[in-house]
Structure 1
Amino acid sequence: MQTQISHFATSSLLSNRIQFPSFFRTVPSDAFQSRGLAQLVLHFGWTWIGLLAIDNAYGQQGIQIVKRDILNAGACVAFTETIISSRQDRNAPHIAQVVKDSTATAVVIFSTDVDLTFVLDEMLRQNVTGKVWITSESWAASSFWSLNKYSRLLFGTIGFALPGGRMPGFGDFLNKINPSMVVGNQYIKIFWEQVFGCKFKDRTSPEVPSNSTIKECTGQESLMSVQSNFNDVSSLRATYNVYLAVYAVAKALSDLGTCKKGDGPFANRICANIENFTPWQLLYYMTKLCLNMPDGRQLFFDENGDPPAVYDIVNWQLSPEGKLQQVKVGSYDTSITTGNIFTINNSLIQWGTGHHGVPVSVCSPSCPPGFRKAAIEGQPLCCVQCIPCSSGEIANHTDSLQCTKCPWDMWTNPAQDHCVPKTQEFLSNEDKLGTTLMATGISSSLIPVGIFAIFIRYRTTPIVRANNYSLSCLLLVSLSLCFLCSLVFIGYPQYEMCLLRQVTFGIVFALCVSCILAKTIMVVIAFKATRPGSQLRHLTRPRVSYFIVNSCIFIQIFLCIMWLTFSPPFLEYKSESNSGVLIIQCNEGSPLAFWSMLGYLGLLASISFIVAFLARRLPDRFNEAKFITFSMLAFLSVWVSYIPASLSSRGKYMVAMEIFAIQSSTWSLVICMFFPKCFIIVFRPNMNSREKLMAKQKNLSN
């Protein structure tokens, strides 16, 4: 079982200790490289990657590990193509066409340099541009790429390369080579002529022609006086691994030879004989090897015979002379126990795709905030469509998988990337509608006050006296309060206001309608009392009308007290699912109580209307029953219209509808009940006399 050590065999199959128990190498297994390349690809955010590999164990095993790690990370593979080494063209035309047509910008390549040249030549012919090549170490350091024709295609390439290192004395050794050496003499002479531009004498033609411009090589020229790729030892990678392999074996032999007798590692503590050792003894020292390298790293072999996986991350850049050169931009070192094994300096990288910054390689553009990703049927998971979030939902980061619903009191901003408080809706006194209704209510309340003033001034006139002066004054006060009670519906609906607004409206309107009902009844009683022998004369006194008013109001107050006791109104925040508006309103608590209160007003108005309608032809001195009939008809019409209108409106418009109904119904009472009287009092004073009224009453009796 001979110990073997390789400086360039990277196949992961060689890590199988059962099949290869004595195999060692100074280069990492491809398994490490593949995982590192996958991490490199994902580092730049590339999620749509093309894969290209040679059809041997090196290429296929390496690319499968890359593919597995890419898919496990959530990225996708755009295509996987194979360089067929058995074909003369290596399948290059097909590969170049696939790469050119693909939307993937990043392409990972596992191949040898010789086979890859066929593909690159074909890409040059098809003018494939805008791609980023991710290299495996097998072709990263190839001398083929120094050719100028590949510079435009390979500029910006990034990938892994085996690390180089300092080999003490190796530069001096190369500079001492001369044509006098026996080994490789013919090759050295060819090299010598190319480096120094001279010509050695040919034995068949001992003299150089006199007309030749080529000087004769003497063999005494010094390589130290020229700079060439030959004696440049600053970036030797494969050579350095040969050096490490030899050094490792030498160190193992040194450890074997320096074993102290009686302190050996084998049975009975014996040592191996340096002049006659067995292969398994050397194998033991190889497994225990630990070399401290000049660059500070250590070389040792794990249980599979593999060294620590260390790679340089290199970027292919153009030198000032226009030639490709490899620039180290990072490292991948699995021997690091603390910190990140993957480091890269993005600022050092030059990209050849014409992009400013890191190129993009995605199947679909990122979905911005406000959108969610959705898979496209029949396409890889990385190929998605961006669907805007529904109303009331947000996505506050890029490439959201789902939208998040806003809280009940919040709504989405126009970009749908964060929730904002909903617009509060209530009938504000700063709102145009609220300001208009408030101004209308205040100004309208002054009209009954003005009429009240007229009645006070002309209280001794027949028209005022004939229309129950005290009850009319009470009615005017209640009408003014009806206008003012609409103001409690305007503004932020605080809890106290919610309790009072409907109750205030119900009681004030009950007072108003009760006064009209009392006037209606008093008109009928007054007519009946004028008949001879009538027993109703004592009912014409003012206290009867006050009793009617108080009785009617008492019932309304009782209904309101019961309402406030058992199911009072309360402040409510109403948020509709498809609206960015938060409605702040007063919930009436008990709909039954609200409609009972409103229905009671309707009952009083209906009784007044019926009684007034039946008494419209009575010989009243000023036809009061007809005016009451018209006023109650208008009043009931307004509130009957209000019912369907309120059910079809919401928010501040529902409140505005009720205020409009309050003010409209109050105006109908003011106009029908008092405008005709005021017109006669102010503009027809001649009609405001006892003779005229008595004549009118006589005409009505006839």
Structure 2
Amino acid sequence: MQWVPITLYTIAIAVSPCSESERGCSLSSLSTDGHARRPGDIIIGATFLIHVNRIQSKALFTSQPPELQCQAFGLDYYQSMRALLFAVEEINANPRFLPNITLGFQIFDTCTAVRRAAQGTLWMLSGGQEITSNYNCFPESHLAGIIGDSASVRAIIMAQILGLSRYPQISYLATSPILSNRDLFPSFFRTIPSDEFQAIGLAQLVSHFGWTWVGLLAVDTDYGQFGIQLVKQEIVKAGACVAFSEDIVTGKPNRNAPHIAQVIKASTAKVVIVISADYDLLIVQEELLTQNVTGRIWIASEAWATSTLLSDKKLQAILVGTIGFAIHGGLISGFPEYFKSLSPFDHLYDAFIREFWEQAFSCKWLDDLADNTTFRGCTGNEKMESLKMKIDIRITLNVYSAVYAFAWALKNLIDCKPGTGPFKSGSCANISSFHPWHLLHYIKNVHFETKDKNVIFFDAKGNPPAIYDIVNWRLSATGAMEQVVIGSYSSVAGGEKTLTINNSAITWIYGETQVPLSKCSRSCPVGFMKVALPGKPSCCYDCARCHQGEISNQTDAVVCHQCSPETWPNLQQDQCIPRVIDFLAYEDLLGLSMATMSVSSSAVPLGILSIFIVYQTTPIVRANNYSLSCLLLLSLFLCFLCSLGFIGYPQPEKCLLRQVAFGMVFALCISCVLAKTITVVIAFNATKPGSRLRKWTGVKVSKSVVMFCTCIQFSICVLWVSFSPPFPEQDTKTQPGVIIYSCNEGSPFAFWIMLGYLGLLASISFIVAFLARRLPDSFNEAKLITFSMLAFLSVWVSFIPAYLSARGMYTVAMEVFAILSSSWAVVGCIFVPKCFIVLFRPNMNSREHLMGKGQR
């Protein structure tokens, strides 16, 4: 069975495309126009976007598809390519860096085409002369790896091919996060940060300026789609909303620009984040210019943040004020002078310099001139110093760093000491016969500092130290568009990301000095909160006043905050202020007035009592039960004074006793009135012949009535205080913004029972007195009692609805007023007429007058 592999091997050799005798079996060769080569002991391959566009041709499948036709020479990308040549020459010129080793290069123009990227990769793997899959028929040079590509979609294709054999690949501009996947792309590295880092930075930038309503625009490649997904996630996470998200369709000649322009024009979003290459965005910007869509703030990804292609004067009306994440700039000592010293006669290995010369000096080489051309001829003696060309040390620095990463990896491979090497048994790789995976090991562990102090290394995912420059597009003194650095975004130790921006250095659209707004809804002022609109993003909302008792002290508050029980919102509802303390205080005019009235009124019953004592022997005083009158006057004195218990701070003892005192003294008062009424009735009826009521005419009956009626009220008050006593409380709910210090009655039922019992006594007294109103005047107080009880009941019937509707101190004031009014009703109706007769009509205060009056 050993012959089978031998035979297969023999057949493989026989059909090998490297065999000159079997050329007919080789794969068909593809055109590899657009490349440059320089021989060397070790070759560094590279792909560049020398031409930024291509002629679209439709495949008919009836003939061989035509080769891609590249056009639109890219001056920026040519500078990047020259950075590779500069680095290679600089390394070769240093004999101590890679002794006895000469670096060469192979450069391929991908021309924005994925097919060209794959073609260039295979071309370099095959030796750099013709494409022969899986074979290198020109082994005189050793391929170290490839630098490229500038676009993620092309870098992914290249990484899939190079990863099969573990050829190191270092991209200088591919930012797609998927390229960090080591399982899919084990040999990929880059000198530009991943879009994952940029996406977080863009979201922080949006938050920094307070923008919550932004539009998104991205190319339909992996670079754009992966980038826009990350940006959208981070923006939403930061609290902003996406107004629209549109794709720049690279497969269409117009890039879908008319539709995009209409969407941007119709949207209220003033900020648009664009993740695209400059040559794709250019077509969209030209369409926006045609439709006069201005007044937008453009946020640029690193792919176009420093583009000279978009810095055209005609786009100034649209792009001034743009803010972008630019590749971190640095220094490449000697490169500006090197680039300005270029000559088409001195750089024989540069296949693109003639075309660059034509583009830069707007001329044509004599051998390319047609008879009808309008271009002047190129001589090659034109001076680069005459060009006002900006030397961009951004992408060029990434290319320069990538070349040195390969060079340092090769140096470390050369410096390896046998026995201490990283490979099996401590072995080292041979510089003349190393495998791709040998160099891959050293690329992973490379860590160096360039002569300009730029530190280069790769993390576990092949990414470099992450740092961006924040640039602002503005007009220079000469009227040209320029990008000025206004801040930075970087990752520091511990993974923390820092955004630093000098706001005062920013030039906005229309020369504005304040940050333009981009919101779906106006900001909610303090005192309001945001209310979500059904079916709308969270950034679109209405503003609603905070509920009673709540505040919001910041704009665009999501929720309002409840004030503490001791505080209440001010009129604007933006801060909590101490509540107004409400109780019937002696310091208040109302409290002072009622206290004065209570004290002064209490002197009246005492004055009347003194008059009765002085004139106790007179008929009018003795006629109506002198002892009951004195007791009634004393109870009225206490009635006036008990109102003082309702004025002042409601302390626990005061709350416990004030209603009890009120109920007891009024029960005593009304009991005396009732006893007097009953005494009048009994006394009149007892004068009739044969009346059995004679034995009830003594003072025992009146005392018994007073004691019995008062004891019932006393029992009610004892039960009330025993089971549900009144207590002080702070009421913060009844009246907004006010703390009502009051006495909680404990049991409202007991309070109304107590008050109802007084009403019952007064009602009985009124009815009895009313029925006895026609008795002879000589013995009759019935009319006076009738009027007094009518006034008494009127006061307390009116008190009930007023008491229930009043709030705070006015509730207490109503009860004090009722106490004073009802007390005055009894005093005025019963005792004032008697005092008037005693003091001012002494002739009427005689038994004869009274008896005579009774006889009529």
Please indicate, yes or no, whether the TM-score normalized by the shorter chain is above 0.5: yes
Other-structure match for 2:198: 33
Q: Which of 440, 449, 453 is matched with 1:283 structurally?
A: 440
Following TM superposition, by how much is the alpha carbon of 1:261 offset from its aligned partner in structure 2, in angstroms?
4.4
Give the partner amino acid of 1:160: F
Other-structure match for 1:255: 412
Other-structure match for 1:88: 253
> Alpha carbon RMSD of aligned pairs, Å?
3.9
Q: Which of 132, 137, 147 is matched with 2:302 structurally?
A: 137
Other-structure match for 2:667: 510
Other-structure match for 1:391: 548
Distance (Å, rounded) in 1 between the aligned partners of 2:187 and 2:748: 93
Give the partner amino acid of 2:726: P
Other-structure match for 2:820: 663
Following TM superposition, by how much is the alpha carbon of 1:78 offset from its aligned partner in structure 2, in angstroms?
0.8
CA displacement 1:278-313 (0-9 Å, x = unmatched)? 333333332332221345442223444443333222
Matches within 5 A, 1:233-272: 233=391, 235-272=392-429
Other-structure match for 1:594: 751
Is 2:509 the counterpart of 1:352? yes
SS at match of 2:247: strand
Q: Which of 234, 239, 246 is matched with 1:69 structurally?
A: 234
Distance (Å, rounded) in 1 between the aligned partners of 2:278 and 2:730: 73
Distance (Å, rounded) in 1 between the aligned partners of 2:626 and 2:285: 112
Following TM superposition, by how much is the alpha carbon of 1:107 offset from its aligned partner in structure 2, in angstroms?
0.9
Contact 2:203 2:235 (8 Å CA) reproduced: yes
Is 2:684 the counterpart of 1:519? no
Inter-CA distance 149–447: structure 2 relative to 1 (3 Å threshold)? same
SS at match of 1:143: coil
Contact 1:392 1:577 (8 Å CA) reproduced: no
Distance (Å, rounded) in 1 between the aligned partners of 2:480 and 2:496: 35
Distance (Å, rounded) in 2 between the aligned partners of 1:650 and 1:570: 18
Inter-CA distance 227–466: structure 2 relative to 1 (3 Å threshold)? farther
Is 2:320 the counterpart of 1:155? yes
Other-structure match for 2:56: none
Give the partner amino acid of 2:282: T
Other-structure match for 2:21: none
Moved more, 155-164 or 520-529: 520-529
Distance (Å, rounded) in 2 between the aligned partners of 1:465 and 1:143: 122
SS at match of 1:621: helix
Distance (Å, rounded) in 1 between the aligned partners of 2:396 and 2:546: 59
Is 2:201 the counterpart of 1:44? no
Other-structure match for 1:583: 740
Gap runs ≥5 in structure 2:
1-164, 368-375
Other-structure match for 1:687: 844
Contact 1:130 1:354 (8 Å CA) reproduced: no
Following TM superposition, by how much is the alpha carbon of 1:175 offset from its aligned partner in structure 2, in angstroms?
4.8
Inter-CA distance 554–7: structure 2 relative to 1 (3 Å threshold)? closer
Give the partner amino acid of 2:267: S
Other-structure match for 1:564: 721
Distance (Å, rounded) in 2 between the aligned partners of 1:62 and 1:267: 41
Distance (Å, rounded) in 2 between the aligned partners of 1:20 and 1:641: 92
Gap runs ≥5 in structure 1:
204-213
Distance (Å, rounded) in 2 between the aligned partners of 1:540 and 1:67: 102
Contact 1:200 1:218 (8 Å CA) reproduced: no
Inter-CA distance 202–636: structure 2 relative to 1 (3 Å threshold)? closer
Inter-CA distance 404–121: structure 2 relative to 1 (3 Å threshold)? same
Following TM superposition, by how much is the alpha carbon of 1:327 offset from its aligned partner in structure 2, in angstroms?
2.0
SS at match of 2:216: strand
Distance (Å, rounded) in 1 between the aligned partners of 2:416 and 2:763: 125
Inter-CA distance 599–160: structure 2 relative to 1 (3 Å threshold)? closer
Distance (Å, rounded) in 2 between the aligned partners of 1:31 and 1:190: 35
Contact 1:392 1:578 (8 Å CA) reproduced: no
Percent of paired sites with the same residue: 57
Following TM superposition, by how much is the alpha carbon of 1:77 offset from its aligned partner in structure 2, in angstroms?
1.2
Is 2:634 the counterpart of 1:477? yes
Other-structure match for 1:375: 532
Following TM superposition, by how much is the alpha carbon of 1:23 offset from its aligned partner in structure 2, in angstroms?
4.0
Following TM superposition, by how much is the alpha carbon of 1:79 offset from its aligned partner in structure 2, in angstroms?
0.8
Other-structure match for 1:325: 482
Other-structure match for 2:573: 416
Following TM superposition, by how much is the alpha carbon of 1:544 offset from its aligned partner in structure 2, in angstroms?
6.4
Other-structure match for 2:172: 7
Moved more, 92-101 or 680-689: 680-689
Give the partner amino acid of 2:651: Q
Moved more, 625-634 or 537-546: 537-546
Moved more, 473-482 or 336-345: 336-345
SS at match of 1:373: strand
Moved more, 363-372 or 178-187: 178-187
Distance (Å, rounded) in 2 between the aligned partners of 1:268 and 1:585: 93
Inter-CA distance 599–79: structure 2 relative to 1 (3 Å threshold)? closer
Following TM superposition, by how much is the alpha carbon of 1:255 offset from its aligned partner in structure 2, in angstroms?
2.5
CA displacement 1:62-115 (0-9 Å, x = unmatched)? 222222322333322111112223433332232222212212122111222222
Distance (Å, rounded) in 2 between the aligned partners of 1:310 and 1:605: 93
Inter-CA distance 354–536: structure 2 relative to 1 (3 Å threshold)? same
Contact 1:163 1:311 (8 Å CA) reproduced: yes
Distance (Å, rounded) in 2 between the aligned partners of 1:72 and 1:156: 26
SS at match of 2:303: helix
Question: Greater RCO between the two (CA within 8 Å, min separation 6)?
Answer: 1
Distance (Å, rounded) in 2 between the aligned partners of 1:39 and 1:318: 26
Contact 2:325 2:471 (8 Å CA) reproduced: yes
Q: Which of 626, 629, 633 is matched with 2:786 structurally?
A: 629
How many residues matched? 681
Other-structure match for 2:658: 501
Contact 2:220 2:247 (8 Å CA) reproduced: yes
Distance (Å, rounded) in 1 between the aligned partners of 2:464 and 2:815: 88
Distance (Å, rounded) in 1 between the aligned partners of 2:690 and 2:196: 126
Following TM superposition, by how much is the alpha carbon of 1:421 offset from its aligned partner in structure 2, in angstroms?
4.5
Following TM superposition, by how much is the alpha carbon of 1:552 offset from its aligned partner in structure 2, in angstroms?
4.5
Contact 1:29 1:306 (8 Å CA) reproduced: yes
Following TM superposition, by how much is the alpha carbon of 1:645 offset from its aligned partner in structure 2, in angstroms?
4.7
SS at match of 1:138: coil
Distance (Å, rounded) in 1 between the aligned partners of 2:806 and 2:638: 26
Q: Which of 292, 316, 328 is matched with 1:127 structurally?
A: 292
Inter-CA distance 492–192: structure 2 relative to 1 (3 Å threshold)? same
Matches within 5 A, 1:135-214: 135-178=300-343, 181=346, 183=348
What TM-score, normalized to structure 1? Answer: 0.84
Give the partner amino acid of 1:141: T
Q: Which of 482, 487, 491 is matched with 2:644 structurally?
A: 487
